[in-house]
Amino acid sequence: MSQANDFNQLARRDFLVRTAKAGAAIVTAGGVGFCLHDRQGPAANLAGKTVSLPDFSLPASTAPKLSIVTGADRVKTVNRALAALGGIERFIQSGDRVVLKVNAAFASPAALGATSHPDLVAEMTRLCLRAGAASVIVTDNPINDPQSCFALTGIARAAEAAGAKIALPMASSFQPTTLAGATLIKDWPLLIEPFKGVTKLIGLAPVKDHHRSGASLTMKNWYGLLGGRRNVFHQDIHTIILELARLVRPTLVILDGTMTMMTNGPTGGSLDDLKPTNMMIASTDAVAADAFGATLLGKTAASLPFIGKTAAAGLGTADFESLNPVRDHVD
């Protein structure tokens, strides 16, 4: 009898234990269910988080905004151009993390003038590091394969020798961005990974003719920060340059007019396309730099719609003379 009683007691206890566990399971399931319940469903475009580039520009000051230096030696002219604006120290201070946005669009040798010259990249790196920068990152989203572009242009070797790091774009380096009020840059992948923790941005662009936009200068250089199937924007090239100029506000732009690609841009291909205009332009006003760069190509600012658009948007002035550019010459 007591055996039956024991059995009953064990059975009862087992029942209660099971019931308790079942209760706990129900509470867990209910909790999870109600917490994660989503009445609305997914939104129209699962864009997720959009990112934006911070404003890297310096506050307004009375210091010179534009310098134009003539000379055949890039290293010398860029040093003089920076000195004319107040020296690299005006732009880069100790502890700054710097991105140099170069033009590495094509896997083409430096001599053909389609990309930023490695000597310039190396010199800028050295100058930044000397001014106390904590790190210098050289980046671009090339049109051709990134690895070969940075290698064949010589930019990778020169930059790394000078102490910079090359940030090659990978699929995970891009996040969607939307520019407020824009028609083209809406939920579009932006090369954002190299900019993590960065405090200064310097653009390095060569002066090139461009078949579609008329000229490829400092503002068109920002095209290399876009990902995705960005060729679609060629249908509206001047608007995309305008939106890029609104999206990217650099600390400084350097326009390298030492060897200008006069025709057959942006790829060029023949040394005959190049002309030794021997100019180096440093500017905090990209519109003015581009307006001057247009003259090197034998064009006027008025003939390039993107200059008019960016000037009208208040991003700079097309009348570069009004900035009282500092002109100099170095042999």
Partner 1 sequence: MKIVTVRRIAQIFFFGLFAWFCVVTTVGDRWWQLRGWPVNWLLQLDPLVALGTLLTTRTIYAGLLWALVTVVLTILLGRFFCGWVCPFGALHQFIGWLGNRRKKHAERVAANQYRSGQVIKYYILIALLASASGGLLAEVLRWPREKPAAGLVVLVASLILTLWFAMQKVVNGWKQAAEWFAGLLFIGTVLGFLVQPEALVASSLQIGLLDPIPLFQRSLNLVILTAFDGLATASRFYLAAWSIAAVFFAALLLNWWIPRFYCRFICPLGALFGVLVRWTPWRVGKRQGECRGCELCENNCEGACDPFGKIHPHECLLCMNCLRACRQAQMTYGPNRSAAGEEPSPGITRRGFLTAAVSGLAAVPAVRLAGLTSQNWNPGVIRPPGALAEEDFLQRCIKCDQCVRVCPTNVIQPATLEAGLEGLWTPLLNYRVGTSGCQLNCIACGNVCPTAAIRPLTLDEKLGRGSFADHGPLRLGTAFVDRDRCLPWAMNKPCIVCQENCPVSPKAIYIREEFQVIHDGERTISAVAADRLTLDGAVLRPGTLGTGDYFVRLENAAAGERHLITDNSAQEVEFAAPFATAPSAGDRIFLEARLQQPCVDPAQCIGCGICEHECPVSGLRAIRVSAENESRNPRHSLTARS
Name the residues that contact partner 1, by CB under 8 A.
Answer: 7, 11-12, 14-15, 18-19, 21-22, 25-26, 29-30, 32-34, 36-39, 41-42, 44-46, 170, 172, 183-184, 186-188, 228-229, 232-236, 239-240
**Other CB atoms closer than 10 Å to residue 70's CB: what's the count?**
17
Tokens of 287: 């519109």
- Residues shown for the chain: 331
Is the CB of 32 or the CB of 271 nearer to partner 1?
32
Nearest distance in Å: CB 174, partner 1:
11
Nearer to partner 1 among residue 32 and residue 63 (C-beta): 32
Query: Whose Cβ is closer to partner 1: residue 50's or residue 70's?
Result: 50
Neighbouring residues of 131: CB distance < 8 A, sequence distance ≥ 6: 88, 89, 91, 92, 93, 94, 96
The residue assigned the tokens 């954002």 is 192
Q: In angstroms, what is the minimal distance from the CB of 211 to partner 1?
A: 17
**Alpha-carbon span 132 to 116, nearest angstrom:** 24
Q: Measured from the CB of residue 239, what is the shortest distance to partner 1 in angstroms?
A: 8
Report cis status (omega within 30 of 0) of the bond before 266.
yes
CB 310, min distance to partner 1, A: 18
Concatenate the DSSP letters of all residues of 140-188 into one string: ---SS-HHHHHHHTSHHHHHHHHT-EEE---GGGEEEE--TT-SS-SSE
Q: Cβ of residue 191: shortest distance to partner 1, in angstroms?
A: 16
43 or 60: whose CB is closer to partner 1?
43
Nearer to partner 1 by C-beta: 73 or 193?
193
Q: How far is the CB of 305 from partner 1 (least distance, A)?
A: 15
| Residue in 280, 256, 275, 253 with CA at minimum distance from that of residue 264 | 275
CB-nearer residue toward partner 1: 44 or 60: 44
